[in-house]
Amino acid sequence: MKVTIVGPGKVGMVLAYSLVLRGVAREVVLVGSNREKAEGEALDLTHAQAFQQIPVKVRAGEIEDAAGSEVVAVCASVPMPAGLLTRNALAQGNADLMKELLPRIAKVAPNCKLVMVTNPVDVLTWQALQLTGFPRERVMGTGTLVDSIRFRELLSEMLAIHPDDLRAYILGEHGEHQFPAMSVAQSGGERIDDTPERRALCERAKHFGMEVFRKKGNTCYAIGQSAAYIIEAILLDEKRTVPLSVLVDGYLGVTDVCLSLPVVVGKKGVERFLHPDLNAVEAEQFREAARAVRKVIDGLE
């Protein structure tokens, strides 16, 4: 099973390394703007995979080498403008980059599932749908999966329950307009009540991406794991539930924008869109997120 990673930067390489360690993807192609660097990365990973039980072929290539990929993950990005520190600052630059990359991907790998990581991820997932003409089942952004895991980790420290058993979802925008769907949050069949302390964790989780970014200049491990989790659910046809950025199609009155909702991921991509029964406040937060993302989309040239 073949996976192509477009944009082998900090995030793309953590994703590649994670895939190599597990051996689910048996062929990984790295497509970057600097061919020699991508070749160095491919060599280094080739040596690392030799320690594993399952052999994985890793090589550098051009977009055309994505042909035959089950999944193409897009992590390519213009650099974050110094000091700006908001994902939307990347919108125009990356929208332009996608115009260059995505039609070529769609041409050589017309049946692939597309996993968008580049920011602002909701905006670019929407754009990817336009540029590729792919059905919504095959275009997904990592969205609030990474925010959800950060929130669960904080909750886990507070409640002493494994993050995977804390079924709490951050939904909406991967950005300022995200919110915890506390009205449906559960663990072991028990409600996770909506207390001020937990709200505070959620606020902290929302800003964790930027906090990590400020401290180390990027974020790569949690997002790399997020992308790897989605990709392996596709390759192994696992039918896992995850919150992902997908085209919203009427849920809570929202249309024609990409936002994070819980979905089921399997070999066909997004095999099912779930519709949690949010309360009125949450529903409004979702609509607010839709307006915010829409505004960025509308602002693109």
Ligand X SMILES: NC(=O)c1ccc[n+]([C@@H]2O[C@H](COP(=O)([O-])OP(=O)(O)OC[C@H]3O[C@@H](n4cnc5c(N)ncnc54)[C@H](O)[C@@H]3O)[C@@H](O)[C@H]2O)c1
Chain residues binding ligand X by CB under 6 A are 6-12, 31-34, 75-77, 79, 90, 97, 101, 117-119, 121, 142, 146, 174, 218-219, 223
Residue of 47, 174, 207, 275 with catalytic role: 174
Is residue 207 flagged as an active site residue? no
Q: Which stretch binds its own copies (CB under 8 A): 65-73, 102-110, 222-230, 286-294?
A: 222-230
DSSP strands (E only) in 130-254:
139-141, 170-172, 178-180, 186-187, 190-191, 240-249
d(CA 129, CA 198): 35
Q: Which two tokens stand for residue 135?
A: 């059905």
Count of residues engaged in binding its own copies, rule: CB under 8 A? 79
Is residue 86 close enough to count as binding its own copies by CB under 8 A?
no
Site for its own copies in 223-262 (CB under 8 A): 224-226, 229, 236-243, 262
3-state helix, strand, coil in the chain (%, to 5): 50, 20, 30
Q: Which does 117 bind (CB under 5 to 8 A by kind): its own copies, ligand X, none?
A: ligand X
d(CA 249, CA 270): 13
Q: Which stretch binds its own copies (CB under 8 A): 91-99, 107-115, 123-131, 183-191?
A: 183-191
Phi-psi region of 85 (alpha: psi -120 to 50; beta: other; left: phi over 0): left
Q: How far is the CB of 197 from ligand X (least distance, A)?
A: 25
Judged by DSSP in three states, 86 sits in: coil
Is residue 297 close enough to count as binding its own copies by CB under 8 A?
no
Judged by DSSP in three states, 8 sits in: coil
Q: Based on CB atoms, which residue is closest to ligand X, 29 or 182?
A: 29
Q: Which of 79, 83, 188, 196 binds its own copies (CB under 8 A)?
A: 188
Q: Based on CB atoms, which residue is closest to its own copies, 248 or 263?
A: 263
Angle in degrees, CA 71, 75, 78, rounded to 5: 150
Of 250, 248, 252, the C-alpha closest to 270 is 248
Q: How far is the CB of 233 from ligand X (least distance, A)?
A: 17
Q: Which of 67, 89, 264, 300 binds its own copies (CB under 8 A)?
A: 264
Q: List, as one string, the DSSP characters of 259-295.
A: EEEEEEEETTEEEEE------HHHHHHHHHHHHHHHH
Q: Which stretch binds its own copies (CB under 8 A): 17-25, 91-99, 251-259, 283-291?
A: 17-25
